[in-house]
Amino acid sequence: MFWTNRVPNSGVHGEEDEGEAGVSWHVKNLALFDYFSVANALVDGASIDAMVSYRLRWAGDGTPLTADDGKNFHFEGRRTTATIAWSAHEAGFSFRSDPSPSTQHTNFAQVGEERNGVFYSADD
Amino acid sequence: MRIPDQFVMPTGYVGHSHFWERAMSRRQFIGTTAAAGGVALSSPLWAPLLAEAGGTVEPKPIPQTFDGSPFHFQFLTPTTEPSSITDFRGVIGGADLTGEGWGTDTATGETTHMFTAVDNRFMKGTYIGVDGRRHEATFGFV
């Protein structure tokens, strides 16, 4: 699996915010490697241990979004905006994101339901 | 990929080598992504995850690959598949974000303003694992 890992079930929450139902994903103290560059990561080059925590939140508003390639997957949900607050630590270095929404930009965010593979055509 | 020295593979999880695999670069840290797998046993916060991970059957990747590479994922767009696992049905969230933050040299205390880019996704629901059976779990793409 490419950069896909098991995470705690309890980390994902639906939440109400001023009447809008958003979704949040909270991860605390995840251990990982800092490979210094994406290219180095892809070849499993030199790395050091690191730890990261973050809270990612998808807003409750947005526009309906359906995506379906006709054979692999069907997604139905909404396109929305998201914000993240995160921090990371490793030997000799730490990082903390600026939590201000004014310094963040959503290039693309979506939340919804997907079915794919053997579930692509399933009605149940 | 190697396992961090201070981490211990949970009992019963040896067959899932990728659970511990993490490719997060300084550029990802500070660049492309923000988090991922692996468990620090020194933290009690991880007890629930260890319990969950101990019974986790690995999912299967989506058939699509990125631009001819061996990597089974697609960038987040309105028309591409957000999930990185197949035979999946559930709730999914994906976010491609840019932002800012501050890095600190912990030896000197010197801080540096940095820009960040994140592509993080969760997949929570039912999946058919490599064992051919149905399972319930949450996965993160980071």
Q: What confidence tens digit (pLDDT) does each residue in B5-60 have?
A: 333 333 332 222 222 333 344 434 443 333 333 222 223 333 334 445 556 888 99
Give the pLDDT band (50/70/90) at residue A53: confident
In this predicted complex, what is the ipTM? Answer: 0.90
Residues of chain A in contact with residue B58, where contact means CB-CB under 8 angstroms, are 1
pLDDT tens figures, B109-124 = 999 888 888 888 999 9
Total count of domains within chain B: 1
Residues written for chain B:
142
Domain membership of residue B66 (yes or no) is yes
Cβ of B43 within 8 Å of Cβ of A29? The answer is: yes
Domain membership of residue B58 (yes or no) is yes
Cβ of A75 within 8 Å of Cβ of B33? The answer is: no
Question: What does the domain layout of chain A look like in residue ranges?
Answer: 10-119
- In this prediction, residue A114 carries a pLDDT of 97
**Which range marks the domain in which residue B52 is found?**
17-141
Q: Which residue has the higher pLDDT, A60 or B31?
A: A60
**What one-letter code names the amino acid at B110?**
E
Give the pLDDT band (50/70/90) at residue B101: confident
Beta strands in chain B (DSSP E): 60-61, 85-86, 88-105, 111-128, 134-141
- In this prediction, residue A31 carries a pLDDT of 76
B11 vs chain A: nearest CA distance in angstroms?
15
Label the pairing between strands A93-97 and A82-90: antiparallel
Residues of chain B in contact with residue A82, where contact means CB-CB under 8 angstroms, are 93, 95, 97
Nearest CA in chain B to A124: B89
**Dmax (CA) of chain A:** 52
- In this prediction, residue A118 carries a pLDDT of 97
How open is the CA angle B113-B114-B115, to the nearest 5 degrees? 140
Domain membership of residue B98 (yes or no) is yes
Nearest CA in chain A to B73: A2
Q: Which residue has the higher pLDDT, B93 or A121?
A: B93
Rounded average pLDDT over B77-91: 96
Residues written for chain A:
124
Residues of chain B in contact with residue A46, where contact means CB-CB under 8 angstroms, are none
Rounded average pLDDT over A106-112: 95
Residue A101 CA to residue A43 CA, distance in Å, equals 35
The answer on pLDDT for A36 being more than 90 is: no
Is the whole model's pTM more than 0.80, yes or no? no
The answer on pLDDT for B1 being more than 50 is: no
How open is the CA angle B41-A96-A8, to the nearest 5 degrees? 35
Q: Which residue has the higher pLDDT, A26 or A114?
A: A114
Domain membership of residue B5 (yes or no) is no
The sign of the dihedral angle between the CA atoms of B139, B103, A33, A31 is: negative
Q: What percent of chain B has pLDDT over 70?
A: 61
pLDDT tens figures, A68-107 = 999 999 999 999 999 999 888 888 888 899 988 899 999 9
